[in-house]
Amino acid sequence: MRKNMVNHESNGYKIIVVDDEQGIVDSLSIFLKRSGYDFTGLTNPLEAIERVKFEHFDMMILDFMMDPIHGDEVVEEIRKFNKELYILLLTGHKDLAPPLDTIKRLDIQGYCEKSDKFDQLLLLIESGIKSIEQMHTIKQINEELHEKNEELEKAYLDTIGILRQTVEAKDPYTRGHSDRVSEYSVLIGKKLGLDENTLHTLKIGGLFHDIGKIGIPDSILLKESKLDDEEYSQIKNHPMIGVHMLGDATIFKDIIPMVKHHHERFDGKGYPNQLSGKDIPYIARIAAVADTFDAMTSKRSYRDALPLDIVKSELEKCSGTQFDPAIANVFLGILNTEYNLILEIQEKYK
């Protein structure tokens, strides 16, 4: 009998037991240590909450009826900062168990009645540990996939980035254009209170909005005089060329609307689809303002950068026709009160 009481080698899983009866904690200590678990036992549920907050445990076993707070209240507090902890609830009697909807709401994985033999509890623990092992495996696979996806995304972004730089290298007057459009778009997005995912889309979309110009002949891109109708129709193809270049890559699916529609006009007179108003994707409406602003404030072979007062006047005049008025108004607010942010971006990408 004494031989059976010797602790097994630790299996690496940490279990915390919470019961305001010291005898239960002591009994479970012997039982769980013999089974190879790293055991922590507490009689104070409030102390248990603090321990779980600052220390990792794989599983919690706790009594339902405790002082000063019940087990479901302990779980409620823990779930505010830890959604993953596997929790088993002990009850003195099945009639004293919390309602089923409470168990589901708090994500309590199981409960059982107290017993001197602990047979049912052992089965629940072993089942729980298998679930924990599976979750660890899934989490590890997801982390590995995430790392691989990030590597693939970076490689793809780098490749397309080289093409983007090739486009801008053709014309020294547009160098830095996409970088500035990207930053202006994010700046507008932040003022509009957009979420981080959308801001990321604006950033990447701004960088690649003109990627389709790689398919436009240099003779048109670099022409110093006014384009004729045929040349202008070829320029208007660049959004769809960009869509075809990026469309097969899943990582670019969110920016496609920005690439495709950044030359649509709020009044429906833009291209390629003559969309109007709110039918134009929101991120494309933002890009349209950022893109036009950079075009007006950049030096061209046929003109110097336009003065700020003229640029603001154009934005005001075209609000509601070329631009979404709400977005134009937000950008005008930036120009009027936080122009230093614009200057920082322009200095960064001279």
Q: Which residues are catalytic?
A: 213
- Can you state the percent helix, strand and coil of the chain, rounding each to 5? 60, 10, 30
- As a whole number of angstroms, the distance between CA 188 and CA 282 comes to 12
Strand (E) positions, the chain?
14-18, 38-42, 59-63, 86-91, 110-113
Q: What is the dihedral of CA 336, 339, 342, 347, to 10 degrees?
A: 150
Facing residues of 112 across strands?
90
Contact 272, 260 (CB under 8 A): yes
- As a whole number of angstroms, the distance between CA 277 and CA 321 comes to 9
Place of tokens 């240590």: 33
- As a whole number of angstroms, the distance between CA 329 and CA 33 comes to 67
Contact 311, 293 (CB under 8 A): yes
Contact 86, 62 (CB under 8 A): no
